[in-house]
Amino acid sequence: MAVTEFQDLPLADRDHDWDGSDAEKRVRKWAGAEDEPNEKYRKAHVWYDGDKAQNFTAYKLLIADVVDDRLKVVPHGLMAAGNVMQGGRGGVDLPKDDVDRVKKHLAKYYDKLGDEPPWER
């Protein structure tokens, strides 16, 4: 199990639309990962199961999309991930040892955005 290394990706505009399904498709194409995940694909997610890294289903908490041909964290995607970490939308099944690391990763982007993560409010 692994928390993706913090990429310090640029932020998309705060009002940029978020559709996780569409973002997933664009990220796969951008990363050249149509057949199986690769390192570029991994950068758009916060967590993945390292034992199953060759499967798309091993990747969770997509927070980025391809905007103007660049991978960017979309604030609404970040907020969706933060909501899921708080149990929203049924929560996310992560190893207990990874939860704090995932929150720290997300918190860096919240800070970059000038917001507080929901678990600190």
Residue 112 and residue 11: Cα distance in Å, rounded? 8
> Is residue 90 pLDDT above 80, yes or no?
no
> Is residue 66 pLDDT above 80, yes or no?
yes
State pTM to two decimals.
0.93
- Would you call 37 helix, strand, or coil by DSSP? coil
Boundaries of domain holding 47 = 2-120
Count: domains in the chain: 1
| Residue that wins the pLDDT comparison between 101 and 88 | 101
